[in-house]
Structure 1
């Protein structure tokens, strides 16, 4: 299977590469439009800042390429946020696949920590990404911004507020958590994506 990882100015790329290699896939890291269009699966990972990431995508004409991909696409962490319509981080217009606005966590109690960092459980899973998993399986999160619940929500979790742990619309799938850092549960999610 031909798997492409979108190359842009985001961190955490190589943990995704290594997770795919553990599953017997040798992905290509690329910002080449033709390579992305021809891939069987595309992964849009990232840790970073929304404004800078969108600038890179626009400067390299990757924004229109991503919007028009027809094969299964998986956004991870900032990748999920950039697939939304807008992010409050840097007041950034994003790709608009998901009709949602990314918000910053607002602590309401002393014990509320930002960023949300660590293991948290998944609930209300409604996507083929989660085949074979159970409600309350744990995955790994690290983020200061989140996507509120919306019609594209495919799984929920809670940190300060309940929010979208995963999203799905047509051929676009996304997780706020890092499946590549989520042990056997995350490995199953990546495997399910490759088998869509």
Structure 2
């Protein structure tokens, strides 16, 4: 299987690569258009700011490449947020506009941002991404912005408010949590994605 991690310069590229290696798969980190289109699976991890990630996508001419991807695609954390239309972060940033929803600040004055640590993920939709995952399992989060619940939400979590912890539109999947840092449950998510 040909697996490509999009090279956006984010700090968690190697941790995602190692998590996939532990599952027994080879993976390439690349921004080469031909390698991306010839792959079987594409993963878009992200840590940092949406402004810097969108800058890298534009600088590396990946904006339209991503929108044309036909194979299964997984956005992780910031990679999921990049699938949105727009993010409030950094004063407002236009994103890939694959999921017709905005990413908003987690507004709850009682809770500290970022939302950092383990939290439950709840799902009611039968989706292959959650095969052999127990509803309410804990996953690791690190974020201050999130996508509200919408028509493409396949899992939700609560941090003061409900938000989308996983989404899907056609071949595009996204998870707000970090499966590469989420132990056995996270490994199952990555394995499930690679088997879609």
TM-score calculated relative to the size of structure 1: 0.97
Distance in 1 (alpha carbons) for counterparts of 2:11 and 2:105: 20
Which residue matches 2:28? 28
- Tell me by how many angstroms 1:124 deviates: 2.1
Any unmatched runs of 5+ in structure 1? Answer: none
Distance in 2 (alpha carbons) for counterparts of 1:105 and 1:11: 23
Which residue matches 1:59? 59
Which residue matches 1:2? 2
Structure 1 moving runs of 4+ over 6 Å: none
Distance in 2 (alpha carbons) for counterparts of 1:124 and 1:156: 6
Matches within 5 A, 1:1-196: 1-90=1-90, 91-109=92-110, 112-126=111-125, 127-196=127-196
Distance in 1 (alpha carbons) for counterparts of 2:66 and 2:38: 12
Q: Tell me the C-alpha RMSD between the 2 structures.
A: 0.8
- Tell me by how many angstroms 1:107 deviates: 2.7
Partners of 1:125 and 1:156 within 8 A in 2: no
TM-score calculated relative to the size of structure 2: 0.97
Any unmatched runs of 5+ in structure 2? Answer: none
SS at match of 1:84: coil
Distance in 2 (alpha carbons) for counterparts of 1:174 and 1:149: 13
Count of paired positions: 194
SS at match of 2:70: coil
